[in-house]
Structure 1
Amino acid sequence: MTPPTGIPRDPGAVALPATLHTALQLAAQSLPVLPLREGKGPMGNCRACRKNACGGRPNMKTPGPCKCPAPCHAWAAATTNPHILTSPAWAPAWRQAAAVAYHPGGAGVTVVDLDNAEAVAWARQNLPVTRTVATTRGEHWIYLGTMTSPNAVRPGVDIKSVMSYARWLGTGTGTMAPLPDVVRALAVKEATAARPVSSALTVSAPAGGGQCLHRSPAYLERGIAMAEQRIEEAPDGIHRTVYRMFLAVLSAHGRCGCLTDTHIGRLFTAAQAKGESLQHCEDAWTNARTQLGM
């Protein structure tokens, strides 16, 4: 295949990785793309950009002004520039990449991510017909137009548009319809829904009883604050991020009795602010405890 216009071409170069080849094709069609590692997550930030130490793209709210040449900052790294995609700074990421993602908001579209058969059945009854892409467990319904990107707007349904990314799984079938008000309303409903953690929280801290290895109470506080920050800054994959942070907190603080219901409430509040439902939080907490044998 002849490379799209503007892509550097070296007759002596090795063959492009399949993921990069796909990314260049999509970029030529004005889809901002980025590599995904195994597990469908974005590449981690480089050392200079870790935890936004570079000062750019604070809390993932803007696509700049960080000048890092590597594919950092998840969705904000997505680009249509073939020279960036084929640059030496991106080469290690493409060698590791398991898939390609795109930034729906940057392409002017919104993806309604239906994660299971029940969610697909709901969409077929309630949403206008549009372009559909099959996924591993469900479907992506793609509409023309952009909006915010809340997760868990209803069981098995996430919205991916601005400040988010979606895995590229093909062009799909059907004609893309304009973004309907019913989808926008899902985000409004989710944002305004009352979810008081203090009255709804049904999990509790482990009883403890083990030896406390903390140097001071500040050690626990830093651990909780770091977990809150990681959850708040997660650009996508919030289910996975919440579970990993719950697992990390329980691993470090779950056996000595220092962890309290107040600490758990803080973690649940951070997760729910990112769109997690209370049920997802409780399931993640229970699964983390099971994994650790608590």
Structure 2
Amino acid sequence: MTAVTPLLGTALDLAAAGVPVLPLRAGKVPFGNCRTCAKNACGGRPNMKTPGPCTCPAPCHAWASATTDPRVLNSPQWAPAWRQAAAVAYHPGGAGLTAVDLDNAAAVAWARETLPATRIVPTTRGQHWLYQGVMPSHNDVRPGMDIKSLMSYARWLGPGAGRMTALPDAVRALAVKEDTTPSAGEVVSSLPKRAPWNRSVASGCRHTERFVRTGLDRGLALVQARVESGAGSQAFGAARFLAVQHTDCPGPCALDIAGEEIVAAAVSVGVPEPYARRAVTNGLQTAARGAA
């Protein structure tokens, strides 16, 4: 049996709680494949993106080797890795979780303004926001922000603090690739001109027209400022913020008309119309579900 080092002890505790784990070497990276698995000659783990027949007992193939089996964690094949390990990692998707990795203060500030509160784990440079639910993993969904869930690992830095909430549409929307305008003067699509939102189309709204237009115009400006990337995600946030303001109104508030303005703003900076429309619809619906 492998000598139980502090890191192995942590890994065994996590495994007992149903969290698949693996050792990391210096530099926060997994251990390299063994000779049999070098250059993926074995075909890969059965649960990797490209399935293969590998049943190697060593901790090969990064996140795909994560396990909750104490016999594997304590095995002679894993012992050399634990002796050299610098940290413990876990497979968020295998634990039914998604970790939003915020790598700097700006990313953290954006999350606080845009994403639902959930459990937060402090990291060296930022925070991990943990949600219940899984999704594909994506890197660089925004500046300083990665999504770690299926087919990825995250360093274990403690349980964090706060009540964990369900994976929101706002995080799922980040994973949808946005295509920006190819070059100056080109447009992705053209939308027909529509009448802007005003009080006359919102007979059941409890807010003044000035209040609603101020918030809406501010959201439009934020979307149109995203000329390089992120306009679709910003459109989601603008729609969600707008809808939250009207959850207590008797209605109708004609938010669909306001939503069309947000769609048009996103399209104007290069977001494909189907993506922009989906982001805005999700933003409006997410706020409505949250108020239910």
TM range (shorter): 0.5 to 0.7
Residue number among 78, 84, 90 corresponding to 2:78 in the alignment = 90
CA distance in 1, matches of 2:73, 2:55: 15
Tell me the CA shift for residue 18 of structure 1.
Answer: 1.0
Residue number among 122, 129, 133 corresponding to 1:141 in the alignment = 129
Contact 2:12 2:73 (8 Å CA) reproduced: yes
Partner of 1:19: 7
Partner of 2:141: 153
Residue number among 117, 130, 140 corresponding to 2:105 in the alignment = 117
Amino acid of the structure 2 residue aligned with 1:31: V
Give the 5 Å matches for 1:184-199.
184-188=172-176, 191-193=177-179
Partner of 1:162: 150
Contact 1:144 1:177 (8 Å CA) reproduced: yes
Amino acid of the structure 2 residue aligned with 1:110: T
- Structure 1: gaps spanning 5 or more residues: 1-9, 197-294
Partner of 2:95: 107
Tell me the CA shift for residue 64 of structure 1.
Answer: 5.5
Change (3 A) 1:187 1:83: same
CA distance in 1, matches of 2:51, 2:102: 27
Corresponding residue SS for 1:151: strand
Corresponding residue SS for 2:106: helix
Count of matched residue positions in the alignment of Structure 1 and Structure 2: 183
Residue number among 30, 35, 41 corresponding to 2:23 in the alignment = 35
CA distance in 2, matches of 1:195, 1:141: 31
Contact 2:132 2:165 (8 Å CA) reproduced: yes
Partner of 1:127: 115
Query: 1:268-287 CA distances to partner (integer Å, 9 max, x unpaired)?
Result: xxxxxxxxxxxxxxxxxxxx
CA distance in 2, matches of 1:29, 1:166: 17
TM-score of the superposed pair, with normalisation by structure 1: 0.59
Corresponding residue SS for 1:193: coil
Change (3 A) 1:31 1:63: farther
Contact 1:63 1:77 (8 Å CA) reproduced: no
TM-score of the superposed pair, with normalisation by structure 2: 0.60
CA distance in 2, matches of 1:155, 1:89: 39
Amino-acid identity (%) = 71
Partner of 2:62: 74
User: Highest Rg: 1 or 2?
Assistant: 2
